[in-house]
Amino acid sequence: MTLESLDTGLAGARLTIDLAALEANWRDLAARAAPAECAAVVKADAYGIGIGPAVRRLHDAGCLTFFVAHPEEGLRARTVAPDAVIYVLNGLFPGAVDVLADAGLRPVLGSPDEVEAWAAAGRARGRPLPSALHVDTGMNRLGLDLEEARALAGRADLLAAADPHLVMSHLACADEPEHPLNGRQLERFRAAAALFPGLPASLANSAGIFLGADYQAGLVRPGVALYGGAVRSGRPSPMMPVLHLSAPILRIRRVAAGETVGYGAAETLRRDSRVAILSVGYADGYRRAASAEDGRPGGRVAIGGRVVPILGRISMDLMAVDVTDVPGACRGTAVELIGDHVGLGDVAAAMGTIDYEVLTGLGLRFQRAYLDET
Which of 295, 252, 306 has its CA nearest to residue 276?
Answer: 252
Q: Is 370 considered catalytic here? A: no
Q: Which of 43, 215, 227, 356 is catalytic?
A: 43
Q: Cis link prior to 197 (omega < 30° from 0)?
A: no
Q: Is 47 considered catalytic here? A: no
Q: What is the DSSP string of 203-222?
A: ---HHHHTT-HHHH-SEE--
Q: Which of 87, 263, 282, 356 is catalytic?
A: 263
Which DSSP state fits 60? H
Which of 180, 243, 227, 233 has its CA nearest to residue 210?
Answer: 233
The CA-CA-CA angle for residues 242, 84, 194, to 5°, reads 100
CB 307 within 8 Å of CB 256: no
SS3 374: coil
Please give the Cα distance from 308 to 314 (Å, whole number).
15
Which DSSP state fits 129? -
Residue 272 Cα distances to 27, 268, 328, angstroms = 50, 11, 17
Residues shown for the chain: 374
Which of 130, 127, 125 has its CA nearest to residue 107?
Answer: 130
Please give the Cα distance from 137 to 289 (Å, whole number).
34
Report the DSSP pairing between strands 243-255 and 273-278: antiparallel
- Residues assigned a catalytic role: 43, 263
